[in-house]
Amino acid sequence: MSLPAHRWLMTAPGAPLVRAEFDATPGPGEVAVAVAGCGVCHTDLGYYYDGVRTNAPLPLALGHEVSGRVVAAGAGAEAWIGRAVIVPAVLPCGECDLCRRGLAPICRSQKMPGNDIQGGFASHIVVPGRGLCPVDEKRLAAAGLTLPQVSVVADALTTPYQAVRRAGVTPGSLAIVVGAGGVGGYCVQVAAAAGAKVVAVDVDPAKLEAIAAHGASLTIDAKTHDAKALKGAVAAFAKAQGLRPTEWFIFECSGTAAGQQTAWSLLVHGATLSVVGFTMDKVEVRLSNLMAFDARALGNWGCPPESYPGALDLVLDGKVALAPFVETHPLSDINRVFDAVHHRAIRKRAVMVPA
């Protein structure tokens, strides 16, 4: 029995996304999720505007921040039918040697919607049933949130959540987030929830003002500080707060060359630099700084599905705010929204909602 559905396909970089019908009937071990919302991520724009290549050939529906309800299931996945879920942005196979050794983020058989498989800018998405994150709809309603809004948990929240956990942020530590909008805004909130004092650095005063009310103890406009002055301002803040002058946790979330240079310039003894944002641009750094400071640098690719419930709990418990930072749009307006996000005419995380 077929399940009629539609999705918006990227046929070539920069070409208008086109609507196409498809059959969303799931196979064995798969589920069909009726999409409630799908967030527009910087990564989607990288594929569409910047020439970043997808693993699957075009035409392809983009979108990897998906929430919705399971409406059909193949053999072995029937228990999911009817449940509200968040689809992890990266779905490891769970069976290979890497997965068995706890290295799911580098699983070579992983599936990323909108990259490896058809994505969530659609009425429905077909994904493996393994690893879905259930959403408690009573807690969701009590938190004043909707199912479309929590779609951004799938990447914008869980990726910095994983980065903060991997870095080892502890109460009383100093965290610096470079790039305070989008993923960076959630990184600020997650680090604050972990007990850190957080410094947010950005070039956009509006983003700094917004995050000042949601976890940032200090905001710094990078346009008004050179590298030396910026590091000095952070050091002065740390001293005033009784925080260590060493072992800072630095999170690069801007996904820009300038942001990466800024993050690198903030290294101190024992620092941890976590790269969360992505850019195709190259930067020139002196790697010996890692040696001289006995520091470390970590890359962060997604978040293991088993960690999603912990990230969602931060939202449902009111420790991370979503609503002030997202806005919904009809999926049929996707071409207009892509253009608006690309030109910074939309300041919040855009979530596409099927009609």
For residue 43, give the nearest of 58, 15, 62, 68 by alpha carbon: 62
Asked if residue 151 and residue 11 are part of one domain, the reply reads yes
> Domain of 98: which CATH number?
3.90.180.10
For residue 190, give the nearest of 307, 84, 328, 90 by alpha carbon: 307
Is 201 exposed, middle or buried (CB count within 10 Å of its CB: 0-12, 13-18, 19+)? buried
Paired tokens of 98: 């890497």
Asked if residue 219 and residue 313 are part of one domain, the reply reads no
Paired tokens of 174: 């100093």
pLDDT band at 212; cut points 50, 70, 90? very high
Does residue 273 surpass a pLDDT of 90?
A: yes
The mean per-residue pLDDT over the stretch 222-238 comes to: 97
Asked if residue 201 and residue 102 are part of one domain, the reply reads no
Averaged confidence pLDDT in the chain:
97
Does residue 355 surpass a pLDDT of 90?
A: no
Higher pLDDT, 32 or 51: 32
Q: What percent of the chain has pLDDT over 70?
A: 100
Q: Any residues with CB less than 8 A from the CB of 155 and at least 6 apart, and which?
A: 39, 41, 43, 64, 65, 89, 183, 302
Paired tokens of 199: 């410094």
Does residue 82 surpass a pLDDT of 80?
A: yes
CA of residue 114 relative to chain centroid, distance: 14
The mean per-residue pLDDT over the stretch 106-122 comes to: 97
pLDDT band at 324; cut points 50, 70, 90? very high
The mean per-residue pLDDT over the stretch 311-333 comes to: 97
pLDDT band at 13; cut points 50, 70, 90? very high
Residue finishing a domain among 281, 299, 317: 299
Residue 329 burial (CB count, 10 A): 18
Asked if residue 292 and residue 207 are part of one domain, the reply reads yes
Asked if residue 145 and residue 16 are part of one domain, the reply reads yes
| DSSP states of 227-273 | HHHHHHHHHHHHHHHT--SS--EEEE-S-SHHHHHHHHHT--TT-EE
Residue 1's pLDDT is what? 73
Asked if residue 326 and residue 206 are part of one domain, the reply reads no
pLDDT band at 153; cut points 50, 70, 90? very high
Residue-number span of the structural domain to which 124 is assigned: 4-155+303-353
The mean per-residue pLDDT over the stretch 64-74 comes to: 98
Residue finishing a domain among 261, 281, 299: 299
> Domain of 195: which CATH number?
3.40.50.720
Asked if residue 142 and residue 116 are part of one domain, the reply reads yes
Domains held by the chain: number: 2
pTM equals 0.95
The pLDDT tens digits of the residues spanning 116-132 come to 999 999 999 999 999 99
